[in-house]
């Protein structure tokens, strides 16, 4: 029997850091690039951490130092994220997430993994804070590329190496932004939009995800009926 792969986004899908991620990014940009306003009007939705940082460097006109600055930004961001997570009063896991992950982790026909724009260290910090890190067997993280579609292609490659035969419809991509849906479609996966409010429902609907849900409790029927 072919395995089902459940690939989850993190922010706005499993958890809401209560602004900790944004605050960490803001203070990082301010301390390294000297200008917090670079982030004004910038949309984070579905972007990889590498993309956000490189965009800020480009906005500062410091493209010639991209590699060096991007390394410095990511190191500083991780340190700032630690502090901000500790102090985030509004950090929360979305309802029914724990129960769903617990349920499918025990089922051998499902494999739980991450497909996220977060750097691996950032993803681990956020999910350990929520007690969710233990559920995921592997992950494709934002360190790999600025482009989420590349991340999805990497995930497909990884699954292809593991399996002799791959049915891409048995790869479920669950995320809260249009970028999650687009990257899922790029590899022929089953796409599920989770409407947590980071992006308007209308925008998500326009990307024609296979399913739209507003609660993790709705995912059981989708996973059980589509394999
Ligand atoms: Mg997200």
The pLDDT value recorded for residue 165 is 85
pLDDT at 227: 63
Q: Can you give the pLDDT at residue 146?
A: 82
pTM, entire model: 0.94
8 CB burial (10 A radius; 0-12, 13-18, 19+): buried
Q: How much distance in Å is there from the Cα of 174 to the middle of ligand 1?
A: 9
CA of 93 to the centre of ligand 1 (A): 13
- Cα 152 to middle of ligand 1, angstroms: 14
Q: Which long-range contacts (CB under 8 A, 24 or more apart) does 167-173 make?
A: 167/2, 169/226, 170/2, 170/3, 170/4, 170/5, 170/227, 171/4, 171/5, 171/7, 172/4, 172/5, 172/6, 172/7, 172/222, 172/223, 172/226, 173/7, 173/9, 173/115
Separation of CA 63 and ligand 1 centre (Å): 27
In DSSP terms, 172 is beta-bridged to 6, 190
CB 111 within 8 A of CB 6: yes
Separation of alpha carbons 9 and 201, rounded Å? 17
**Separation of alpha carbons 25 and 43, rounded Å:** 13
CA of 176 to the centre of ligand 1 (A): 5
Measured in Å, residue 12 CA sits from the centre of ligand 1 at: 5
Distance 164 CA to ligand 1 centre (A): 31
Q: Return averaged pLDDT per consecutive 10 residues of the chain, 227 residues in all.
A: 93 96 92 88 84 92 93 95 95 98 96 96 97 97 89 96 91 96 97 93 96 98 86
Overall residue count recorded for the chain in this entry: 227
Ligand 1 centroid, distance to 113 Cα (angstroms): 15
The pLDDT of residue 112: 98
CA of 26 to the centre of ligand 1 (A): 18
> What is the whole-number distance in angstroms between the Cα of residue 127 and the centre of ligand 1?
13
């Amino acid at each position: 029997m072919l395995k089902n792969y459940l690939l989850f986004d993190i922010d706005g899908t499993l958890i809401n850091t209560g602004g900790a991620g944004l605050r960490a990014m803001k203070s990082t940009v301010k301390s390294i690039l000297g200008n917090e306003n670079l982030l004004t009007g910038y949309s984070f939705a579905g972007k990889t951490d590498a993309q956000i940082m490189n965009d800020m460097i480009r906005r500062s006109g410091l493209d010639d130092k991209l590699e060096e600055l991007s390394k410095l930004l990511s190191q500083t961001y991780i340190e700032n994220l630690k502090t901000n997570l500790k102090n985030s009063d509004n950090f929360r896991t979305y309802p029914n997430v724990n129960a769903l992950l617990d349920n499918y982790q025990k089922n051998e026909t499902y494999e739980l993994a991450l497909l996220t724009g977060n750097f691996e260290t950032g993803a681990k910090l956020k999910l350990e804070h929520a007690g969710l890190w233990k559920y995921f067997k592997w992950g494709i993280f934002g360190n790999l590329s600025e482009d989420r579609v590349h991340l999805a292609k990497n995930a497909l490659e990884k699954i292809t190496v593991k399996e002799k035969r791959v049915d891409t419809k048995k790869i479920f991509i669950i995320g809260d932004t249009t970028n999650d849906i687009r990257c899922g479609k790029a590899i022929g996966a089953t796409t599920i939009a989770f409407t947590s409010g980071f992006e308007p429902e209308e925008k998500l609907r326009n990307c024609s995800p296979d399913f739209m849900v507003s609660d993790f409790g709705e995912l059981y029927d989708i996973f059980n009926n589509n394999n």
